Amino acid sequence: MTGKTQAVLEVNNIAVHYGGIKAVNGISFSLEPGRISGILGPNGSGKTTLLGALTRMVSLTSGSLVFLGQDYSKVPARKILSLGIARTFQTVRVLPDRTVLDNILLGTDALSSSRAGNVKENVRQAIERTGLEGFEQVRPGELSYGVQRRVEIARAIAAQPSLLLLDEPTAGMNQHERQEIGTLLRKLSEEGLTQLLIEHDVQMMLDTCDKLFAMNFGVLIAEGTPESVVQSIAVQESYLGKRAQQNA
């Protein structure tokens, strides 16, 4: 591990405007390889729009996105996975009439054979890592919300991405499931997978992330270690404002 390594993702002054609404307005940051970064912010702060922009689902008004040294600001959304960027969604998005195995295989279907590698082995590992052994032939509708979340993560990591973007990965889960997901993400990080999380659960962010970014009104208001970001006055005023006032 050297001190200076190439950033996996560089976000350079990006903006997403809808008419007069500036959902994302001049955000810049970079993600270091193998680390888990998190984006924190109250509802409507622009987190999901930012994730949409990073996955090219939302068009940029200005700025650029660089992934492993390659500018992908104009690359269509459907090519993001083949670049090595996988994602999960805010609400679970699975094919309800397909088995868990089919849903995971879907993550590898559109990849070139060189990119997909040994699909069978990758899918087997994804199932094993996410603890889904035994569920292969089950339809997602028969599973709990938390397990369906695992299916989404398994589908994403079966594509062998270099960057995993997770939109509220623990939403709808109980405490134990949240801890399990946190442990899984840490394990993936140790194996070298760079991750960016958007999450409301502050404790989960503190426990899981190496670095936090805080957003409000479409701009970054703080970044640094999870503890420093959560304790920053700007974040407390925007995200934890009421509690800070009550405590005061």
Which residues lie near other proteins (CB under 8 A)? 55, 57, 77-82, 87, 89, 93, 95-98, 102, 105-107, 109-111, 131-135, 137-139, 142-144, 146-147, 150, 155, 174-177, 179-180
In the bound state with other proteins, the residue whose beta carbon lies nearer, of 180 and 207, is 180
Tell the smallest beta-carbon distance from residue 11 to other proteins (Å). Answer: 19
In the bound state with other proteins, the residue whose beta carbon lies nearer, of 22 and 93, is 93
Tell the smallest beta-carbon distance from residue 12 to other proteins (Å). Answer: 23
In the bound state with other proteins, the residue whose beta carbon lies nearer, of 62 and 91, is 91
Ranges of H-type helices in 12-144: 47-54, 80-83, 100-109, 113-116, 119-129
Residue environment code for 164-185, b if the CB has 16+ CB neighbours within 10 A, otherwise e? bbbbbbbbebeeebbbbbbebb
| CA 62/CA 226 separation, integer angstroms | 29
In the bound state with other proteins, the residue whose beta carbon lies nearer, of 4 and 78, is 78
Tell the smallest beta-carbon distance from residue 136 to other proteins (Å). Answer: 10
| CA 26/CA 121 separation, integer angstroms | 41
SS3 141: helix
Tell the smallest beta-carbon distance from residue 53 to other proteins (Å). Answer: 14
Tell the smallest beta-carbon distance from residue 211 to other proteins (Å). Answer: 25
In the bound state with other proteins, the residue whose beta carbon lies nearer, of 135 and 239, is 135
User: What is the spatial order of strands in the sheet that 211-216 belongs to?
Assistant: 85-87, 163-167, 194-198, 36-40, 211-216, 219-224
Tell the smallest beta-carbon distance from residue 180 to other proteins (Å). Answer: 7
Sign of CA dihedral 142, 99, 191, 111: negative
In the bound state with other proteins, the residue whose beta carbon lies nearer, of 185 and 235, is 185
Please tell me the total number of residues recorded for the chain in this structure: 248
| CA 46/CA 56 separation, integer angstroms | 15
Determine how many CB atoms are found less than 10 A away from the CB of residue 113.
Answer: 8
In the bound state with other proteins, the residue whose beta carbon lies nearer, of 107 and 226, is 107
Token pair of 235, please? 């974040």
Tell the smallest beta-carbon distance from residue 99 to other proteins (Å). Answer: 9
Contact 189, 166 (CB under 8 A): no
